[in-house]
A = this chain, B = another copy of it.
């Protein structure tokens, strides 16, 4: 078919890429007075430009502390989205019962202990209720490291949950996750592309930690980071032979589908990447001068051209909440197939 791997040709076609944790740098570029709608338009626009047809986002904690607020935010997001999206609910101490109903409408539950949380409790008791009360069929995403991560993973074992760990960047964390997988525990993880490619000068990550990530490529289930850099950094490594195209597809599509519990819609959304073009990572970034390759030429989303030759064609509101979309596809797998 037209979207099989055509590795030897000029253009590589992949199913629409999925970003399981599109936050950090993208959000820093958004003006502080921006509305939810403006933020979502901005994030989903960057997503399409980077080749992603679905992104998972989590907005500021204050706005989403109860189901009513969350659903209002979700509605505003839905009317402004250019790509598909999911929104994570945010676990906060004491809100386990209040947010549990969001399991059905959110992308999952994000547990990200703040410094204040770590001070408030010496253990994991702040999050035990979340692990037991969050619906089993909705993902739980942990943003933690070191002892906090290990402790939360133990809470996960006790609660008999699967979890996803986001932004793994330490040797000891990736080793622990590897050992967990070897033991048969249901853990997945993503690594920020910047941690794989950051230069020594950037000071972002130690050489030892970076090496450990590269030595554990098969432990990684998804790649996250700035939407604009993921494809170019990974594709240069594909061309140089450090990783293969199957690995990239696995970390940007198959893995995310599994993590998020999304049904596959590879005929509805695709991305075409021109691998002839090469350049260098932006001077002001952690990947200054790092070789980049792979220009996103076209993104088709939900059966329509959403991005082509540098221009967004998708209209505001054409992006769908992907959980609902996925439920829809499960019910009627033949709707709106790509011609």
Contacts and interface: CB of A to CB of B under 8 A. Distances in A.
Contact of A150 (B118, B150, B179): B150
Interface stretch (A26-34, A67-75, A151-159): A151-159
A150 B154 contact: yes
- The interface residues of chain A, by DSSP majority, are classed as helix
Contacts of A148: 147, 151
A125 B158 contact: no
A149 B158 CA distance: 13
A183 B157 contact: yes
Given A123-B176, A125-B172, A125-B175, A151 B158 contact: no
A65 to B, nearest CB: 24
Contacts of A173: 123
A180 B151 CA distance: 13
Given A125-B172, A170-B123, A172-B124, A160 B147 contact: no
Interface residues of A, number: 33
Interface in A131-163: 145-155, 157-160
Contacts of A172: 121-125
A145 B158 contact: no
B176 A147 contact: no
A216 to B, nearest CB: 14
A122 B118 CA distance: 13
Nearest to A150: B151
Nearest to A178: B158
8 contacts: A118-B147, A122-B147, A123-B170, A128-B176, A149-B151, A153-B154, A158-B183, A159-B179
Given A128-B175, A158-B176, 19 more contacts: A121-B172, A122-B147, A123-B145, A123-B150, A123-B170, A124-B147, A124-B172, A125-B175, A125-B176, A128-B179, A151-B154, A153-B154, A154-B180, A155-B176, A157-B180, A158-B180, A158-B182, A158-B183, A160-B183
